[in-house]
Amino acid sequence: MSATPRLAHVVLQTSRLEDMRDWYCAVLNGHVVHEGHGSCFVTFDEEHHRVAFLSPPETLEPHSPATAGLHHVAYTFDTLDDLLDRYTDLKSQGIDPLVPVQHGITTSIYYHDPDGNSVEMQIDNFPSVDDANSYLTGPEFDENPVGVCFEPDKMIDARRAGAPVDELITRKWALANSPDLPNPLTIFADA
């Protein structure tokens, strides 16, 4: 059996290198490892770089949801409190989410970078891969594999009031506390 690879980094091509660098450093709490010659390398952990940017001399066409390609890149946190803290920190910097989604398998908050690429910040809602796989093959996910929107500020208020994490990371909580939000697919389609 061959070895299993691990994801090392993502490289994005951009005509807005400085904006992209600053945005990803803020969102990922990262820092620049190297910049120059139309490129920039950023990390936020033990890897030498996790996100890089290439800026060709010609102006690139803007990202469009109507083109084929990568839909989003996801970054995970250990706890719901960590995810909500990052949301609060980004909001204080003027970085607002595109759409928060309770997928069931994850609690996720999506953002758009300056070029319009989608970035997911998430937590896993199950303690083990087996539990997650059981959910993925179950009726709730089969009926709606995308999930439902939720309001992070209401989740933060509930958490501060003592609501347990296990209650907050369910579609039931999201639907009960944000019943009038649109289907996440309509938001992705319009973005």
What's the pLDDT band for 105 if we cut at 50, 70, 90?
very high
DSSP string of 83-119, one letter each residue: HHHHHHHHHHTT---SEEEE-SSEEEEEEE-TTS-EE
User: 41-58 pLDDT, tens per residue?
Assistant: 999 999 999 999 999 999
Instruction: State how far the Cα of 69 lies from the Cα of 12, in Å rounded to an integer.
Output: 12
**Residue 81 DSSP SS3:** helix
Dmax (CA) of the chain = 53
| pTM of this prediction exceeds 0.95 | no
Instruction: State how far the Cα of 98 lies from the Cα of 150, in Å rounded to an integer.
Output: 12
- In the predicted structure, residue 191 carries a pLDDT above the cut 70: no
